[in-house]
Amino acid sequence: MTGQNATPDAGQRLAVLGAGVMGTGIAALAVGHGIAVSIIDVDRGRLADATARVDRQVRTARLMGTLPPDVRPGPLDVGPSLTDVPTGRTGLTAVVEAVTEDPYAKAKVLTEVSALVTPGTPVVSNTSSIPIDELARSVARPEDLVGSHFMNPPYLIRTVEVIRGPRTGPHTLDAVRRLLAVLGREPVVVEDAPGFVTSRILHPMINNAVRVVAAGTASVESVDTLLQGCLGHPTGPLRTADLIGLDNLVDSLWVLHERTGDESCRPCELLLTKVRAGHLGRKSGRGFYHYEGDL
CA distances, 131 to each of 127, 162, 211, 262 (Å): 8, 12, 26, 16
Amino acid, res. 29: L
Burial 250-279 (b: 16+ CB within 10 A, else e): bbbbbbbbebeeeeebbbbebbeebbeeeb
Q: Which of 68, 27, 23 is nearest to 46 (CA)?
A: 23
Apex CA 194: angle with CA 231 and CA 260, to 5°? 90
Report the distance separating Cα 239 and Cα 157, nearest Å.
Answer: 15
Determine whether 149 is an active site residue: yes
Q: Which helix (H) or strand (E) holds 53?
A: helix 44-64
Catalytic residue among 149, 171, 203, 257: 149
Report the distance separating Cα 164 and Cα 185, nearest Å.
Answer: 17
Would you please indicate which residues are annotated as catalytic (active-site) residues?
149
